Amino acid sequence: MEITDLNEQELNRRESLQKLQELGVNPYPAAEFPVNATTAQIKAEYDPEKQNFTDVVIAGRMMSRRIMGAASFLEIQDSCGRIQIYVKRDEICPDEDKTMYNVVFKKLLDIGDIIGIEGYAFITQTGQLSIHAKKLTVLSKSLRVLPIVKEKDGEVYDAFADPELRYRMRYVDLIVNPHVKETFMKRTMIVNTMRQYFNEHGYLEVETPILQPIPGGATARPFITHHNTLDIPLYMRIANELYLKRLIVGGFDGVYEFAKDFRNEGMDRTHNPEFTCMEIYVAYKDYKWMMRFVENMLERIAVTLNGKTRFDVWGNEIEFKAPYRKLPMLDAIKEYAGVDISGMDEAALRETCKKLDVPVTPSMGVGKLIDAIFGEYCEKKLIQPTFITDYPVEMSPLTKRHRSNQRLTERFELFVNGKELANAYSELNDPIDQLDRFNEQVRLKDAGDDEAMYIDMDFVRALEYGMPPTSGLGMGIDRLTMMMTNSTTIQDVIFFPQMRPQKAASSETVKGEESE
């Protein structure tokens, strides 16, 4: 960026930076600053009768300032919150030289600068907990102007609320909208709760490849790259399923992974091309066991995060207490679409879709046609947690056939508030049947279905060595976090969501206002 691209306030800050350096003040000191307290600790533990916090070292970003001659009040914000600082000129400048207060503090420091304070806690005459500063240290000079959020008579002004800017400049969003941190802290709590739940059952957390020679484990369009040394195409992982099942073949009874997956598909409020998925595979279990496992896990997560199992999600009161309703897919279509599609071939399904006004394409096979009817008529009706079970075999190329109906599979998807939250199977461990299913996927791909699976012959070979009966589950962490935190878009639960390129350099700058 050329210096001429800067606005007046940014130019003023650079001038202040230069003047600080001329005064011998390093605006970016390399030395450690020995913080020994946070705003939250002080607010929670300070007791005037105990006279504690008499030697406080705290650091944070200056968010407001009121200069009153030889004394001033300012407010700093650290990772836990805000606290008031009382600055008296003769306290921070005990010698004759008052430059630190008269020039540095009053004229060269700006809202957004990061400073360190050494002093002691006390209660002001108005009853506000504050830190009396004995020493002030400049730790980082801010060269950009923060948007200043103001409140008056209960109304909020100049809020940093534009989604385009918030998601693109998450660092600013986190500074001026501290509540945003709570969502991401809860996201970490969700992952930690799941990890603890799995570990309690004795399952092993593992890592599998992100760059894969064959994009397997899901029906999705992959991102493609090229490895120069090997001179081969590689695909960014769309799922980690086939690698985790290889580990079950290798003798592990239970493995799980929190994986970054990548799908070169559309973007909307519930989809991001890069997302986090948890997958777990447990030997000698089936999909019925996995349903109990999942509903108990979600009940624990709900209580851990919100202290209760029933709370609002996108305008609906959702009850996460186990057990959940179980509804076979064909029964769901009969219930919500009013048609019985059991036994229909591809031609009959196409005719049914036409009658139901369900959009289809020539490349769609039996599985995609059934999925289209279900998506159009059923998904949005599944508000309370519901396991949709027993999918037709055409929809589930990696799933064991149903023990009582060979045209179905032992699969479930969990739907909450009209959205899929989890997908699970009794895993297919018959290598001959698996190869046949893969060949059917090749037929669909040749017919124009660019989401159909590739054949992974190494995975087939692994199955030929024998995989025990296994149940597997995939669950999107981003969508789970959306539901558990009542966030309406996936961009609100991903620190740095994928964004379209900026149209102009001016969009990099947020409007701000210097405030005293």
Distance CA 138, CA 124 (A): 25
| 184 and 295 in a common domain | yes
Say if 12 falls within a structural domain: yes
Residues 6+ positions from 337 with CB-CB distance below 8 Å: 356, 373, 376, 377, 378
Say if 57 falls within a structural domain: yes
Q: Is cis: bond before 497, omega within 30 of 0?
A: no
Per-residue burial over 43-55, b if 16 or more Cβ lie within 10 Å, else e, is: eeebeeeeeebee
| 65 and 128 in a common domain | yes
| 395 and 304 in a common domain | yes
User: CA torsion 365→370→375→379, rounded to 10°?
Assistant: -150
Provide the number of structural domains found in the chain: 2
Q: Is cis: bond before 323, omega within 30 of 0?
A: yes
| 184 and 142 in a common domain | no
Could you tell me the CATH number of the domain that includes residue 438? Answer: 3.30.930.10
- Beta strand 254-262 pairing with 224-227: unpaired
Nearest to 33 by CA among 135, 136, 116: 116
> Is 285 within 8 Å of 469 (Cβ atoms)?
yes
| 126 and 33 in a common domain | yes
Could you tell me the CATH number of the domain that includes residue 72? Answer: 2.40.50.140
Distance CA 465, CA 151 (A): 67
| 136 and 93 in a common domain | yes
pLDDT in tens, the chain (516 residues): 555 678 999 999 999 999 999 999 999 998 899 999 999 999 999 999 998 999 999 999 999 999 998 999 999 999 999 999 999 999 999 999 999 999 999 999 999 999 999 999 999 999 999 999 999 999 999 999 998 766 666 665 557 888 889 999 999 999 999 889 999 999 999 999 999 999 999 999 999 999 999 998 888 899 999 999 999 999 999 999 999 999 999 999 999 999 999 999 988 988 999 999 999 999 999 999 999 999 999 999 999 999 999 999 999 999 999 999 999 999 999 999 999 999 899 999 999 999 999 999 998 989 899 999 999 999 999 999 999 999 999 888 889 999 999 999 999 999 999 999 999 999 999 999 999 988 988 888 888 887 778 889 999 999 999 999 999 999 999 999 999 999 999 999 999 999 988 775 444 555 554 444
Give the domain range for residue 62. 3-146
Say if 167 falls within a structural domain: no
- 360 DSSP assignment: -
Say if 72 falls within a structural domain: yes
- Domain endpoint, select from 129, 146, 163: 146
| 262 and 127 in a common domain | no
> Is 254 within 8 Å of 247 (Cβ atoms)?
no
Say if 285 falls within a structural domain: yes
Return phi, psi of residue 259, to 5°: -115, 140
The residues that bridge with 118 in the sheet, in sequence order, are 57, 135
Per-residue burial over 466-496, b if 16 or more Cβ lie within 10 Å, else e, is: ebeebbbbbbbbbbbbbbbbebeebbbbbee
Token pair recorded at residue 421: 């939250």
Return phi, psi of residue 162, to 5°: -65, 120
Say if 267 falls within a structural domain: yes
Distance CA 74, CA 329 (A): 61
Distance CA 183, CA 477 (A): 13
Return phi, psi of residue 248, to 5°: -65, -40
Cβ of 505: how many Cβ atoms within 10 Å? Answer: 9
Distance CA 122, CA 24 (A): 32
Q: Distance from first CA to last CA of the chain, Å, rounded? A: 29
Token pair recorded at residue 365: 């096979």
The residue type of 245 is K
| 397 and 297 in a common domain | yes
| 454 and 315 in a common domain | yes
Alpha helices in 81-217 (DSSP H): 89-92, 99, 163-168, 170-176, 179-200
Token pair recorded at residue 112: 């957004």
